[in-house]
Amino acid sequence: MSTTKNNEKLKVAICGGSGYTGVELLRILSGHPKVKITAVTSEKSAGKSVSALFPHLEKYRTLTYEPLNKINLLDKADLFFLALPHGASQEAVNFFVENKKRVIDLSADYRLSDPTVYQEWYGLPHKRLATLKKAVFGLPEIYRSKIKKAKLIANPGCYPTSAILGLLPAIKNKLVDVSSLIIDSKSGATGAGRKADIAVSFCEVNEGFKAYGIGTHRHTPEIEQELSLAAGKKIMVNFTPHLLPVDRGILTTMYAKLSQKTDTASVLRIYKKMYKDEPFVCVLDEGIFPNIKNVRGTNYCHIGIKVVQRTDTLIIVSAIDNLVKGASGQAVHNMNIMMGFGETTGLESLALFP
């Protein structure tokens, strides 16, 4: 049941609305019948209309960016999406939660339940431990019942979403040796954010393809946290991300040694059974594998499976749009669950093709 009264729309604010994830929130929510965006912030673009900065968002020509003044924003919305840089969300999230607002945080500040792990990987102390304990990891396929009751959602990272959804059924069903997990991910350049950075400029990215953050990427502990919970024991993974010369999309290929003799058809049955009621996870038929083009602009995760019997290896391939299922679309899905809206509301668009 919806927590808003009758036909009253939910008042929503987006803090950090000029980056790629903030802009995607604006795009997705433009078609949401239960939501009204009442405020959007940007320090650099304060005073400009949304459509002046992003002409494709013409619907928001009367909505103006404003500075992130937490006190001024407090009465403007009932739910806050925070699309701020890592570290910057700690205080803002805490403020809105303490003032009884619902919050969906798209940064990493509240994803890791252990503050010492957060400090190790992000180089910052976590100063809001009481609020951290209230956060629910916002992967609906695992935590739907907790999300329904939550006031604070830590929206998962893009790489972790693709890896966790890909490996979860295999780990839950003890199909693989969890000490052998290799995760190889490729992401479009928007994963680096909307900023001036030579490494992700056109001439650096175009016609190139490279690995980065080998063994050190900050999404590693997030993946390990959730896979360890699924396995009931500590898991460590080898995770290597790559930069693709495309705007958006993540393709993740996962390798694991089988713990029992099986075949592709049998594993597919397990995956399809686990995800049969999930509106945004599509397990592809045998012999068909994901392509980022088929999920572009959507909230879907496509998963393909192959058992290589010659090497006793399970290979899983997943594809998501890093800005939608990997960020803003998943945030809207979490909002829908929190507020009692239909889960797919505002998220039913299909990919553009070609």
Specify the CATH number for 159-322; select among 3.30.360.10, 3.30.70.260, 3.40.50.1000, 1.10.443.10.
3.30.360.10
Beta carbons of 184 and 242 less than 8 angstroms apart:
yes
Per-domain boundaries in the chain: 10-156+326-339, 159-322
Quick check: 167 and 305 in contact, CB under 8 A?
Answer: no
15: annotated active-site residue: no
DSSP line for 172-238 = HTT-B-GGG-EEEEEE-GGGG-SS--GGGSHHHHTT--EE-STTT-TTHHHHHHHHHHHHTS----E
Instruction: State which CATH number among 3.30.56.10, 3.40.50.300, 3.40.50.720, 1.20.1090.10 fits the domain covering 10-156+326-339.
Output: 3.40.50.720
Helix-strand-coil percent breakdown of the chain, rounded to 5? 35, 20, 40
114 closest CA partner among 143, 135, 97, 95: 135
Catalytically annotated residue among 158, 203, 282, 301: 158
pLDDT digits (tens, 9 = 90+) for 315-343: 999 999 999 999 999 999 999 999 999 99
Chain Cα centroid distance, residue 159 = 8
Q: Are strands 238-243 and 210-211 parallel, antiparallel or unpaired?
A: antiparallel
Per-residue pLDDT of the chain (354 residues), as tens digits, is 566 666 799 999 999 999 999 999 999 999 999 999 999 999 999 999 999 999 999 999 999 999 999 999 999 999 999 999 999 999 999 999 999 999 999 999 999 999 999 999 999 999 999 999 999 999 999 999 999 999 999 999 999 999 999 999 999 999 999 999 999 999 999 887 777 677 778 888 899 999 999 999 999 999 999 999 999 999 999 999 999 999 999 999 999 999 999 999 999 999 999 999 999 999 999 999 999 999 999 999 999 999 999 999 999 999 999 999 999 999 999 999 999 999 999 999 999 888
Calpha distance 284→277 (Å, rounded) = 15
